[in-house]
Amino acid sequence: MLEERMQQTQRFESLGILAGGIAHDFNNLLTAILGNVDLALMDMPPSNLAETALNEIKALSTHAADLCLSLLIYAGKGRAVTQSLNLNEEIRRTSQILGTLNAQNIRLIYRLSEKPPEVNADRGQIQQVIMNLVLNASEAITGEEGTITIKTYLVQCDSPYFRRGYFTSIPDEGLYVAIEVSDTGMGITEEECQKIFNPFYSTKFVGRGLGLCAVLGIVNGHKGCIRIQSSTGQGSTFTVLLPADTKAPVTSASMGYVEVIYAGPHCVLVIDGNSMSLKVTVRILSRLGYTVLHAVTLENAASLLRDKGKAIHCVLLDHALGQALVEKQIEELRHACNGTPLLLATDLEKQEFHRLYGHFGFSDFLEKPLRVAALAAKLSAVIENKSCGVAVSPRIQ
């Protein structure tokens, strides 16, 4: 049993690495597509007939970026904005939507803990977990009528607990919050338990591909696991276990409209080994009024910094997902920067960036795919630390 779990964990990790790599490559493509669209919109005169087509391209590219996010979520690297959440309240928030997901012959029963269970989690991702589990349960019920029961409770998870049932992984022992979704459907076999979280695998004709594997990615990203109990013909119970939040609530920062402003002339050094994304990043920065130098390796960048360091106002380093940054190399780059701000462009979400590279001394980071407005705002902030100059057109927000 232990050997099977280890093999399953290794299989999930391998699929996660593959999904993360695909997402990174797509994000490079989308950086080029969205960057060129934004550049075209910036240069286009008002009321041009081509603007509609460009905006449609941008909208479709944004949908593609959402697919990349789903792949990153499966890889456990989805971007998360965490805060202290009451799971009972989150289930109530989604109750109306959950009602519409189910057929008329299915009854939803809520049995929520009297003591509000709290977790430190991303609200949107947790709601996605709840909805996907209920949708999965609904599709498992093929008879004339059925019942789906949603429970929440606190559970102390120890070694004996983790030996009962099938778990996607074995996290650290401790206090966990459980979201349990059970159905009276057709159930699944033990063999199917080992496959249902694979991308695009489904036991149902109307499978939705990334549904359950996205759930697993979200749960893994929150340091939890999923327990499955099922018997063929007797229904299934999926229990999501998330570490209980024992700390004070954390309020996430709100993201309002920011007028993007930059000052020039300034020089930015871009370090990117991908010629396609490098090319469009250089074009965007040039269009924003920056002088741009570029390098494909850290060694080339260090050489440029030694030769032209006083003329460089910011360094932008592109990080390829799956390629670990070496602290010694970054330390040498920072030494060559001699106080010049160093930004990291990455597919990693904020918490993962800070966990892995927070101590490396980066001034800040940018989420990929890069957007013109976000890039201009970040550069303005790290170079000037104040607003002055020319505003970016609201057409590219």
HEC sequence for 168-191 = CCCCCCEEEEEEEEEECCCCCCHH
Q: Is the pTM of this model over 0.85?
A: no
Are 236 and 383 found together in one domain?
no
User: Between 136 and 264, whose confidence is greater?
Assistant: 136
Q: Residue 23, by phi and psi: left (phi above 0), alpha (psi -120 to 50) or beta?
A: alpha
Helix, strand, coil percent content, the chain, rounded in steps of 5? 45, 20, 35
pLDDT band at 313 (very low <50, low <70, confident <90, very high): very high
Report the CATH number that the domain containing residue 153 is assigned in CATH.
Answer: 3.30.565.10
pLDDT tens, position by position, 188-211: 887 787 778 776 555 554 444 457
> Is the pLDDT reported for residue 385 higher than 70?
no
Report the CATH number that the domain containing residue 278 is assigned in CATH.
Answer: 3.40.50.2300
Residue 238 located in a structural domain: yes
Are 269 and 380 found together in one domain?
yes
Sequence-ordered alpha helix ranges (H) in 248-371 = 275-287, 298-308, 327-337, 350-357
Residue 254 located in a structural domain: no
Are 281 and 222 found together in one domain?
no
Residue 255 located in a structural domain: no
Residue 256 located in a structural domain: no
Domain of 265, in residue numbers = 261-396
> Is the pLDDT reported for residue 64 higher than 70?
yes
Longest dimension (CA), the chain: 76
Residue 15 located in a structural domain: yes
Q: Which of 26, 48, 74 is the last residue of a domain?
A: 74
Using an 8 Å Cβ cutoff, are 366 and 344 in contact?
yes
Q: Which of 74, 99, 115 is the last residue of a domain?
A: 74
Are 220 and 332 found together in one domain?
no
Q: Which of 208, 243, 278 is the last residue of a domain?
A: 243
Are 279 and 231 found together in one domain?
no
Number of domains in the chain: 3
Sign for the CA dihedral angle at 326, 329, 334, 335 comes to positive
pLDDT, the chain, mean: 77
Residue 315 located in a structural domain: yes
Residue 350 located in a structural domain: yes
DSSP 8-state secondary structure symbol assigned to residue 282: H
Residue 250 located in a structural domain: no
pLDDT tens, position by position, 219-267: 888 889 999 998 888 899 999 999 998 763 433 333 222 233 334 468 9
pLDDT at 101: 56
Residue 240's CB: how many other CB atoms inside 10 A?
A: 27
* Torsion angles phi and psi, residue 303, rounded to 5: -65, -45
Q: How many helices (H) and strands (E) does the chain have?
A: 12, 15
pLDDT tens, position by position, 283-312: 888 888 888 999 988 888 999 998 888 889
Are 158 and 185 found together in one domain?
yes
Are 54 and 93 found together in one domain?
no
